[in-house]
A and B are shown apart, each in its own frame.
Chain A
């Protein structure tokens, strides 16, 4: 059909702005949560996945053409996105297209960097003949009207607009910050500066005028690991292109570490959460198979929590985020934890400050998150924050006790727990590579 349009000459495909969503990264700082799936496919807020937020922002902003660049373990992401029905991105012209790396007649390569991934899909973008291209990453939790950002881009006569977010000064040295004048025109960039001169951090969201981006990508095509922040933006800035900062004021959370991921989830149970999922005018869409209501038994207790469809609660749930089709057994106690879809928690289990991924089975009377904190022996930087992290489809036997800063992945047996315990800082990895 599209071919006919192109040949007929009375209609030319034209989209003012299309989005390219970078969803190929592993997100290794999420540990076992991303052992078998890309970070954008990790669950968030009970029933959602991280990628639902940028995809919903796109459709709510009127951006109906989205290329999703995948590379690391894309199966779960592909299954989730499908043809884009949940986000209304199943379109005759446009909609969502998953763009994996592909073989070429010569020089076949993986996506080596964020900008390289876009370069390898020039043809896709050209097909839609856009004036502007929106670059998004698949690992932030926020609601943003990209149309508003585009208006700003146009009103500034900018070639590139970066969305920026004011972070606390003491944290500014962890980010790439921009130095901009009163009109928002950026004069300098600093990557993780020791003495930051600005607290405006780049959010990794860019609007490019397509001509400018296309020219830069072609010019930098031989740049190894070509990256937006490191190469494309400095290149354009160096060539005198106008780069502006769009000051974003709403809620924005990078959920790149287990600590920030846990925190962002926990904020959802606040009485009026700063990030409010209950607003009618900016719905977050997701692929959801579960429709049944949830059931709270007479033996169950719920306070300060959010719970997904089809879940059955026979135990005590406090200050937690629970997904869909979960079963929480009688006498079980869940506190300060994230429990994803399809998990079964045995009777009498006690769980404190844990992240439990999809379809995990926790045995009866198991205790998770006990004792004093200790540094994780395998990946001290990843498994910190006092959390217990359990990868998808894992099995925890009855009656074991598990300490803090621990990680478990795979079907574990009682024999994996000397004296029936995994001490704080320990890990049991029996699945994955």
Chain B
């Protein structure tokens, strides 16, 4: 128990469009059975971090529902546990979280009353596996003040300019750090995972608050880059942020590749999620399924190709679903065609309708039809 965990899951992302209208990015369903935050939570528990705090404020219902029991990630313990910090009105303040640093500062007693020497901070919207202990060991051996996990992003994978971009010297010390630059100097992006000594973090947060600054990245990492010893820790394993429609679509489609599935699903350690007790997926006569992921509780009567179907999707007779993502509990009426779309969860699509996006512009479908009036 050398470290406690913090997951920053407060954010909205306008770039996710309508998909984030009803949930925080960290609560986005991913690859059929999971939610984005499961990856950070599972990494924490698999790294033997037993005490984890989730900071959230935007549209928290969906996330709260997902986190309504801590047992799925094995946090229901006497030693440690899962804490959820939403903004609250106190005698001292009545603000929403004004930024990530402010969110931590408003709950600084949690940090002060803990006894773990280190803090691992992760964001709730990354899809990856990581042993945070390795990051921590690197942090200790370098004698760093802060260590930032990072990854080289190839242009075809994602747009580097939407991340924090770092430049390291040969020893790994960060010599430049720019947040969402117009022109990136390197292709090394911060993946939003940091290690810092708990007392150091408290000190920085208090200074920050006194100066009226609120953002962890801009006001601490970038501002202190030449004052503190900030190191980078490069990973070369799978990592993807799902903050845009394009990257969200790609992240889901990545799991159609065998090596990605093997890495996440059939290689220790596992990713955990809330278990929903759904029956096995059912394929009736007329089901034609090619290169697709199907979650439990689905009933398939039509054609599904190169697609990801989340839990409890019903596909009617003679439907054709191609290159699409259908989120949880969607009912698709007979003879419908869906191509290059993301269909919002709990939606009902009427029979004989056609929805088509293009590979370059994925269409987000959100009909809000009343299911039983069909």
> A-side interface residues toward B, CB under 8 Å?
45-47, 85-86, 269, 271, 277-278, 283-286, 288-289, 291-298, 300-310, 312, 321-324
B83 located at the interface, meaning its Cβ lies under 8 Å from any Cβ of chain A in the complex: no
Bound complex: CA A278 to CA B71 (Å): 25
16 A-B pairs whose Cβ atoms sit less than 8 Å apart in the complex: A47-B296, A271-B285, A277-B279, A278-B297, A292-B32, A293-B32, A296-B289, A296-B304, A297-B290, A297-B291, A300-B290, A302-B287, A303-B285, A303-B286, A309-B280, A322-B280
Q: Find out whether the CB atom of A278 lies under 8 angstroms from the CB atom of B282.
A: yes
B271 at the interface (CB under 8 A from A): yes
State the B residues within 8 Å of A (CB).
31-34, 71, 255-256, 261, 264-266, 270-273, 275, 277, 279-297, 299, 304, 308-310
Residue of A nearest to B265 (CB): A292
Q: Within the assembled complex, what's the spacing in Å between the Cα atoms of A285 and B286? A: 29
Docked Cα-Cα span, A324 to B275, in Å, equals 14
B240 to chain A, nearest CB (A): 17
A residues in contact with B295, CB < 8 Å: 293-294, 309
Residue from B265, B283, B291, B299 in contact with A310 in the complex, judged by beta carbons closer than 8 Å? B265
Query: Given A292-B261, A293-B32, are A271 and B289 also a contact pair (CB < 8 Å)?
Result: no
Chain A residue numbers with a CB within 8 Å of B34 are 291
- Which residues of the other chain, A, contact B256 by a CB distance below 8 angstroms? 295
Q: What's the minimum C-beta distance from A92 to chain B, rounded to whole angstroms? A: 14
Contact B293 A293 (CB under 8 A): yes
When distances are taken between beta carbons in the complex, the residues of chain B under 8 Å from A286 are 277
Are A309 and B285 in contact, CB atoms less than 8 angstroms apart? no
Given contacts A295-B293, A296-B290, whether A283 and B280 have CB atoms under 8 Å apart is: no
A293-B32, A296-B289, A306-B282 known; A283 and B277 CB under 8 Å? yes
Q: How far is the CA of A322 from the CA of B283 in the complex (A)?
A: 11
A323 CA to B287 CA, complexed, in Å = 19
Expressed in whole angstroms, the minimum distance between the Cβ of A50 and any Cβ of chain B is 16
Cα of A324 to Cα of B294 in the assembled complex, Å: 13
Option from A295, A297, A305, A323 in Cβ contact (under 8 Å) with B283:
A305
Alpha-carbon distance A269/B279, docked complex (angstroms):
12
CB distance from B271 to the nearest CB of A (A): 7
A292 CA to B30 CA in the complex, in Å? 10
The answer to whether B289 touches A300 (Cβ under 8 A) is yes
Q: Is the CB of A291 within 8 A of B290?
A: no
Residues of A within 8 A of B296 (CB): 47, 293, 308-309
Is B297 in contact with A271, judged by CB distance below 8 angstroms?
no
Chain A residues with CB under 8 Å of B285's CB are 271, 303-304
